[in-house]
Structure 1
Amino acid sequence: MSGFNSSNITGFILSGIPGLEDYNFWIGFPVLLIYIVAVLGNCTLMYTIKTEPDLHEPMYIFVFMLSAIEFFIANTTMPKMLGIFWFNSREITFNMCLVQMFCIHFLSALETGILVAMAVDRYVAICHPLRYSAILTDKTIIKITAAIVARGAAVEVPLPLLIKRLPFCKSNLLTHSFCLHQEAMKLACADIRVNILYGMFLIIFVMGVDSLFISVSYILIIKAVFGLEEEASLKAFSTCAAHICAVLSYYIPLIGASMVHRFESKAAPNLHIFFGNAYLLVPPILNPIIYGIKTKQIRRRIHRIFSEKWKCNKVSSDL
């Protein structure tokens, strides 16, 4: 029962939403809508930032990275979910489950790291505006990005390996539509204390430390803003509105999913499924909407791009 290849199963069975199997076909339509909005929204955001020289600033570069992460998260989870709801394609091989598991957790670690970088960006812009360009140079942004990617890879690579070492002689049915470490480990017929401890370490070292940095950044921002005049303070704090919404859309479902998986309730047995889906579906669809509406510069550029394309198409049709 030891060793990396001790598992006696060839794959897992993914679930839709238990108790609502008769409605799978109809549930697929809102999932498809979410998928389309997430892909188009994040692609539009990335295209706008890439093609507009005025948006080649640290704040918007981090928004570009966040959109890229959300794009990959959407494509990692939602196509398989649509396969489950519309074609009852519930099987996933053991190795593909491990790959999806790594991608989900790795991208999640990247996302929280980028949110920290964006919080630091807002802190420097508001508290040290004269030194903003000198501090957040292109070289610094590259170093920050490399550190976020390196940290994510270092802490998330062990997750699929910790699952691969376990023997599975129980059910291979997962209650989610995707593979998560905290659920897959519960199906093992061996001691999973190492998996539990490592999962707790990840929550503290990644999400815990990152949320602490974000909180400290905003405490310092609030302290600096209160020292300004009312109009100036409102203007300064309004630049943080989109980032605050992005942080909340990420951390509220994440905390809910983490707590529910550890303290399951018999009164609401499907609550962990709700939070798990919200954790992966909410940020990819909300973030492009948040930054498209709340960030005036991005909103203007998007409007200008679509206006110019509409005019070009109109001229071509007239000719």
Structure 2
Amino acid sequence: MRILFAGTPPFAAAALNALADAGHDIALVLTQPDRPAGRGMKLTPSAVKQAALARGLPLTQPASLKSPEAQAELRAADADVMVVAAYGLILPQAVLDLPRFGCLNIHASLLPRWRGAAPIQRAILAGDTETGITIMQMDAGLDTGAMLSKTVVPIGGSDTAASLHDALAVAGAAAIVTALANYATLVPLMQDDTQATYAAKLSKDEAQVDWRQPADVIARAVRAYNPAPGAWTLLDGAPLKIWSAEAVAGAGNPGEVLRADAEQLAIACGGGALVLHEVQPAGSKRMSAAAFLAGRPISPGTRFGR
């Protein structure tokens, strides 16, 4: 097929590479404009832009798809289908109507569960045991279009948002190639809106640990917010990120240090306790809890969260 491809992060780049490897004609690649990144805030191309340039594919980076000029560029591509994966820009109806066979989205959840911006993290936070990829026909709603296929991906007890993202990127790339190969035989299935849940965008504020919650809930949050925005707490007024932790048995006032030695750093929660394995003090690098305690001794009874 002749394809318009729209995407931005590594999740989308995996799909672009798979489509090109499958022999599809990539008429035009759309990705968001370069953004400042890193400590130097240097303008950095998206993963999709890097993949497109490496393959010599036509590329455009419009700030919006609402302008007549942007839409004219897409129309000129004369595409059979548009494939969208984590693009980050709204597609107006005029754009949705351009390709002969419409626009398909690679969504990282089993719709209608977790429509929205952060389906991977929300699935981990909720304690879901599985998620997946849905290939759907796009409409004007937020991930509300008819579904063409689903691929189930299990969520392991140690999965972080990073590891689950990588598994879903592989699954998504394979799913869109299969969907296009069998497009003529796929039967669209409407979503049941009564079963829909919303995966709201993540914020740094929500990633602050609430020690009044049960330890297993906090442990899921640590995994869900890894790598971004990173679960964090306060210790003597300074932020401390928590990159790896596990829930264990224990009791005490929420936020109270139960044990702090070379073997274990355990903190009481609203139910159970959380053992910290990897942390990051402000202005420093990630380190084991033991290395952190070696440089900053903590006494049992010390309170986290303030």
Q: TM-score, normalised by structure 2?
A: 0.24
Q: TM-score, normalised by structure 1?
A: 0.23
Which fold has the larger relative contact order, with Cα–Cα distance below 8 Å and residues 6 or more apart in sequence? 1
Structure with more of its chain in strand, by fraction: 2
